[in-house]
Structure 1
């Protein structure tokens, strides 16, 4: 079968790899689309994603959808449309018993964090554990469903804001700032609104992402470097850019006793951050890492809100994978870029 394979920095190839067979407790899928994530871009452009270095051929892709080809247990009929929870979990630790996505020893599709690497889903066929499979509603197009994993990340970020003193979710009725309007930021706009935010304002350094933010429901936008981000004006800030300087801006923008959630990954190295507003405002700052089980909510939301599909701006064939990755790296022109995995979508001509 064919697969996209990263061999190192700037080395992405279409190759023939062994065809996998499904064993007990597994399902074999015919893949339709794979969304290009920031981690995929890092593996391609740098040969590493943070501390995780490509040391052997790596098939990328954890934002994937497809259809069932074979289920040895006979539970899922061939052709059933599905997406995946891309994680397998490690060993429970004290203090995080209810958060298996934080347990050490887990794995994630398309990741060099494990040895051997955990191969991803940008291939013609993929074998996964049955409990990773999520059956999709019949009326949810696969192209839109490819947003389920990154939307789950955004929903988890909103959930990490927690509860207010009166027991209601912080996001309900809140004025929310989304910092950074890349694909995760765009989906954070949609997630915050779905969870009850009264108003969402989005920022970015570029005008194209801001247009896309308004398309998914942002009430207004601010261009970084041109418009001033008002200090102390937001109940909740979802920092999705991962730019270290934006963390200081987020701390300045949140109100007294407001909440900042760091959704975007930042470099694993010391960077200066102005903590004075965090202290003087008694603000809450929380990290958000991947997600637990929000992929199920993401599927329901994508089915209910077709407009979220506008986050997908490009669908390019797998044989042009390098072009697809270059397009995804250029945020002036692209939101979420999908790779069409050799025609695995039985309804490829349908509206997204």
Structure 2
């Protein structure tokens, strides 16, 4: 079968490798679509995602959809449309029994956090544990289903904020995670969702997925002390400082966007003087099931996908995915004549 590998910085190659055989408790998926995530961009353009360095060939991709190819147990019929929860959880620890996403010893598809690296979905076929497979409803396309994983991350961000019913929510950054955070907050009952970005094109996508208001940074002022919850999705230091200014007294700031593992100049004074609660977000727990239901019920969320590029042009897809003026979520379609079928 064919698979894409990141061998290092700006080194993406296609290789022919043996077709993997599923063992007991495993299922082989014929992959159709794979979304390009921020971590994939870091691995390709920098050869590392934070502290996780590409030390051996790495197949990227953890946002995927496809069809069951082979299940030795017979539980899953061949051709069943599915997506995949990309985590294998590790061992529980005291104090985080209810947070398997934080348990040590786990793994995540398409990640250099483990050695050997955990290979991802940019291949013709992928072996996963049977418990990672999620069936898709008939009304949900395989293309839209590739958004289930990033939408689950955004939903987990809202989970960390608590009940947002009737709340005023600010989403900072209109990249794919920010756009999906709008959908997540709206689906959980937020009264008003505002999204900010430096560029007008991502803000237009924000309106398409349901944002009540958009603010272009540098052109319009972002209100201070005005939001019950801020979902910070950019990871940019100035935006994090702004999040603390925008949150109301005793408001909540949820940091969804990843940041480098290094010191950055961030103004904490408003967080202290307003007694703001700050929550981190790392991947998700089980929100992928809710994400599938939302994608099936709200077709407009699929507009987050702006381009589908064949795997034979994967380097072009990576270049496009880091240009937020030209793209939202970019999908790579695998080696199929009609990946949407």
Q: Aligned equivalents of 2:200 and 2:304: distance in 1? A: 15
Of 291, 294, 307, which aligns to 1:301?
294
Alignment of 1:25-36 (within 5 A): 25-36=25-36
Q: Aligned equivalents of 1:222 and 1:19: distance in 2? A: 49
Give CA deviations for 1:230-280 in whole Å, capped at 9, x if unaligned.
110111100000111111100000001111100000111111211111111
Determine the structure 2 residue equivalent to 1:72: 72
Residue 344 (structure 1) shift:
7.5
Determine the structure 1 residue equivalent to 2:326: 333
RMSD of aligned C-alpha atoms? 0.9
Determine the structure 2 residue equivalent to 1:157: 157
Q: Does 1:103 align with 2:96?
A: no
Give CA deviations for 1:98-127 in whole Å, capped at 9, x if unaligned.
111101111000000000000001100111
Q: Aligned equivalents of 1:126 and 1:65: distance in 2? A: 11
Structure 2: segments with no counterpart, 5+ residues? none
Number of aligned residue pairs: 341
Q: Aligned equivalents of 2:159 and 2:143: distance in 1? A: 25
Residue 17 (structure 1) shift:
1.5
Runs of 4 or more consecutive aligned structure 1 residues displaced over 3 Å after TM superposition: 344-348
Structure 1: segments with no counterpart, 5+ residues? 163-168
| SS of alignment partner, residue 268 of structure 1 | coil
Determine the structure 2 residue equivalent to 1:238: 231
Determine the structure 2 residue equivalent to 1:82: 82
Q: Aligned equivalents of 1:345 and 1:80: distance in 2? A: 16
Q: Aligned equivalents of 1:217 and 1:328: distance in 2? A: 22
TM norm structure 1: 0.96
Determine the structure 1 residue equivalent to 2:113: 113
Give CA deviations for 1:111-150 in whole Å, capped at 9, x if unaligned.
0000000000110011110000001111210000000000
- The question of whether the paired residues in 2 share the 8 Å contact of 1:32 and 1:344 is answered with no
Q: Aligned equivalents of 1:49 and 1:279: distance in 2? A: 30
TM norm structure 2: 0.99
Provide closer, same or farther for how the CA distance between residues 344 and 280 of structure 1 changes in structure 2, counting only shifts above 3 A: farther
Alignment of 1:1-352 (within 5 A): 1-162=1-162, 169=163, 171-343=164-336, 347-348=340-341
Residue 347 (structure 1) shift:
4.0
Give CA deviations for 1:206-228 in whole Å, capped at 9, x if unaligned.
11100100110111111112211
Residue 74 (structure 1) shift:
0.4
Q: Aligned equivalents of 2:89 and 2:264: distance in 1? A: 31
| SS of alignment partner, residue 245 of structure 1 | helix
